[in-house]
Amino acid sequence: MKPFSFKSLPALLMLAVLLSGCSGEAEKVAEKPAPVHFESGDECHVCGMSVTRFPGPKGEVITEKEQTVHKFCSTRDMFAWALQPENIRRKHTLYVHDMSQTEWASPDDAALIDARDAFFVVGSEREGAMGQTLASFSEESAAHDFMVEHGGEVLRYEAITLEHLNTEMPAGDMHGDMSS
Ligand code: CU1
Ligand code: ZN
């Protein structure tokens, strides 16, 4: 029995709180890194294609620990990377274009939004750099309108799986037999 350990632990915790408060580190960790603009020379982290030369919403990831910026030619390739087992549980910051604010042919970076808060239309007829892609929106109503016009299904970030990325299923058949 060591009574000292019970007394010293709260004191240590208090000290740690005071120290982190002084340096401002606690606030920095909670702050989300801002999106980085896409440049003409950027290559997709997954497929190597030019990011800005193709239509459709693009993706960007700022990694949790190293704060490394990865850019993706399409939301499709961003998910292909983010859904890998080594990335799926990490608290990376992810940005995608809000397609209700910008043009499909050449999305404007002023329209980048947090992918975890976005609504995605999966399986629509509109294509990005890699063919079928995910149309991203900040508002559910805008995603729904896009789905009505171009087909597919509206999903939240957490509902998207690797199976959604390679589907060429016709609109309205997203819940069809996956085993065929
Ligand atoms: Cu590509
Ligand atoms: Zn790509």
State the distance from the centre of ligand 2 to the C-alpha of 88, rounded, in angstroms. 18
Please provide the average confidence, as pLDDT, over all residues in the chain. 86
What is the phi/psi pair of residue 63, to 5°? -70, 150
Q: Are 46 and 81 in contact (CB under 8 A)?
A: yes
Number of domains comprising the chain? 1
Q: Is 69 exposed, middle or buried (0-12, 13-18, 19+ CB in 10 A)?
A: middle
Is residue 70 included in any domain, yes or no? Answer: yes
The range of the structural domain enclosing residue 101 comes to 59-166
State the distance from the centre of ligand 1 to the C-alpha of 49, rounded, in angstroms. 5
Is residue 117 included in any domain, yes or no? Answer: yes
List pLDDT tens digits, range 96-124: 999 999 999 999 999 999 999 999 999 99
Q: Please tell me the predicted confidence (pLDDT) of residue 172.
A: 47
CA-nearest of 100, 106, 116 to 58 is 106
CA-nearest of 131, 130, 99 to 115 is 99
In the predicted model, is pLDDT for residue 157 greater than 60?
Answer: yes
Is residue 16 included in any domain, yes or no? Answer: no
State the distance from the centre of ligand 2 to the C-alpha of 60, rounded, in angstroms. 11
Q: Are 116 and 94 in contact (CB under 8 A)?
A: yes
* Least confidently predicted of 10-19, 62-71, 131-140: 10-19
Q: Which ligand is nearest to the CA of 45?
A: 2
For residue 172 the two structure tokens come to: 């309205």
Lateral strand order in the sheet of 119-128: 131-137, 119-128, 153-156
Query: Terminus-to-terminus CA distance in the chain, angstroms?
Result: 64
State the distance from the centre of ligand 2 to the C-alpha of 65, rounded, in angstroms. 23
List pLDDT tens digits, range 9-59: 555 555 555 555 555 555 555 689 999 999 999 999 999 999 999 999 999
pTM to 2 decimals? 0.78
Is residue 20 included in any domain, yes or no? Answer: no
